[in-house]
Amino acid sequence: MLTYQTLRHHPSLFRALTSLTPLEFDQLLPAFAKAWQAHLDEADTQRKRKRKRKRGGGRKAHLLTLEDKLLFILVYIKVYPLQVVQGQLFGLSSRSSQHLDS
């Protein structure tokens, strides 16, 4: 599975997949964190009904860290892979790739 923690140790591959160096990625991360929080806050304000539970209920995310979320987005933008390919790279399931997990 492709994660920030493993990919950051391979700068040339990191650059090939994201167009950024690990240092540039680290500099971008605070702005992404701020934008991610704003997105979550906006989604909460757009709800028709008030939330009964805190955020985090429901299905658990596979991309747990902000670094992995940003990496996922940057790889998608740079490489523009099919959904099944992106799912395989990041350990996410999709109907067409479930048979590969067996």
Q: What's the domain range around 88?
A: 4-37+62-101
Task: Please check the confidence at residue 101 and state whether its pLDDT lies above 50.
Answer: no
Q: What's the mean pLDDT in 2-11? A: 94
**Which is more confidently placed, 98 or 1?**
1
Is 46 part of a structural domain of the chain? no
pLDDT bin (cut points 50, 70, 90) of residue 95 is low
Q: Does residue 56 belong to any structural domain of this protein?
A: no
What's the confidence (pLDDT) of residue 36? Answer: 94
DSSP code at position 48: S
Domains in the chain, number? 1
pLDDT in tens, 75-87: 988 988 778 888 8
Q: Would residue 51 count as lying in a domain?
A: no
- Which is more confident, 70 or 57? 70
The mean pLDDT value of the chain amounts to 84
pLDDT at 3 over 90: yes
Whether 43 maps to a domain, the answer reads no
Spell out a b/e string for 1-39, using b for 16 or more CB atoms within 10 Å of the CB, else e: ebbbeebbeeeeebeebbebebeebeeeeeebeeeeeee
Query: Has residue 24 been placed in a domain?
Result: yes
Q: Is 30 inside a domain boundary? A: yes
Is residue 67 one of the residues assigned to a domain? yes
Determine, yes or no, domain membership for 80.
yes
Maximum mean pLDDT: which of 51-60, 64-73, 84-93: 64-73
